[in-house]
Amino acid sequence: MSKYLKKLIVKPGSKIRLKHFDPDYHGRDESHKAALSEIQENRQKMDELQYQMYAENKHSLLIVLQGLDAAGKDGVVRHVFTGMNPAGCVSVSFKEPTAKELAHDFLWRVHPHVPAKGAVVIFNRSHYEDVLVARVHRLVPKEIWSKRYDQINDFEQLIATENNTSILKFFLHISKEEQLARFKKRLDDRTRQWKISESDYKERQYWGDYIKAFEDVLTKTSTECAPWFIVPSNHKWFRDLAISQIIVRQMEAMGMQFPKPTVNLAEIRREYHQAEDRKKAGRRKKR
């Protein structure tokens, strides 16, 4: 089992208070340089396992990434999943709901994007926005958003059992100070300035409200079939190491097998050799 799986998992029924979790934690791994070889190895394993999943076409994997602004959701997609084949891996981001989406139940826009058999899907923000942003900014009354925890659990249970989907949910835990430092880097780096939003600093005034909302999410929706992991993310390299390690262990636990050939290999080999013989005979005639 992954050394960080046990350490970071939110056990169902646990009462979570994020002040008890250190966003600076990095285990016994001392630096990016020291962890890089394992991160690269994990990415290679993920690529191989994804190929096996795509070929077998029996399992699927849903990754949910949530965190406060600048927690590193885009960075995880870019650095952890970089080796996966786009033919079987896609990242989906849920923005502010459209008028059409608001006319339906809050999960209506999510369900079409869950992974089909053989696929890996990454939710870069997700259905949890409807118990985070919707709650903090009072977009819907408490009597509505408070019921959504159970609805989310039922939804995840459905796709886990009906479509053999493994679900891993990662909360990227950063400190308020680290968030401000990352905002400063965006201001100073022209390659990141496009990420700056007018709401970045305005949302910081709701930090406490978001922390409380995340604590309730982690407490109420970490289940056996869809566990949450609290990933200390002040150190980006540790974030990538822990997440890649947990994903590899989960994919290995699926016990996937390459499907058996659907053709007679002996006959195919015979046809191949016959084609080769004809090719060689044609060359001799030309001489």
> Is the per-residue pLDDT at 200 higher than 90?
no
Tell me what pLDDT residue 197 has: 80
181-205 residues labelled b (16+ CB within 10 A) or e (exposed): ebbeebeeeeeeeeeeeeebeebee
Selected residue with higher pLDDT from 106 and 3 = 106
pTM, entire model: 0.93
26: its two tokens: 């990095």
Of 32-36, 145-149, 252-256, the range with the lowest mean pLDDT is 32-36
17: its two tokens: 């208070």
Under 8 Å between Cβ of 95 and 197: no
Among 3.40.50.300, 3.30.460.80, 3.20.20.150, 3.30.465.10, what is the CATH number of 3-286?
A: 3.40.50.300
Tell me whether residue 148 is exposed, middle or buried, using C-beta atoms within 10 angstroms of its C-beta: 0 to 12, 13 to 18, 19 or more.
Answer: buried
Q: What is the pLDDT of residues 19-68, one digit of tens each?
A: 999 999 998 877 888 889 999 999 999 999 999 999 999 999 999 999 99
* pLDDT band, residue 2 (cuts 50/70/90): low
Helix spans in 57-147 (H)? 73-80, 99-102, 133-136, 142-145
Share of the chain above pLDDT 70, in %: 99
> Is the per-residue pLDDT at 190 higher than 50?
yes
- The per-residue pLDDT of the chain, averaged, comes to 94
Average pLDDT on 188-199 reads 79
Contacts of 41 (CB under 8 A, 6+ apart): none
> Is the per-residue pLDDT at 161 higher than 60?
yes
37: its two tokens: 């070889």
Share of the chain above pLDDT 90, in %: 82
> Is the per-residue pLDDT at 1 higher than 60?
no
Cα gap 150→153, rounded to integer Å = 5
> Is the per-residue pLDDT at 236 higher than 50?
yes
Concatenated DSSP letters of 222-261: --SSS-EEEEE-SSHHHHHHHHHHHHHHHHHHT---PPPP
> Is the per-residue pLDDT at 252 higher than 90?
yes
Q: How many residues comprise the chain?
A: 287
> Is the per-residue pLDDT at 127 higher than 70?
yes
Question: What strands, in cross-sheet order, belong to the sheet with 9-10?
Answer: 9-10, 228-232, 165-173, 60-67, 120-124, 89-93
* Amino acid, single-letter form, for residue 82: T
Please state the domain extents for the chain: 3-286
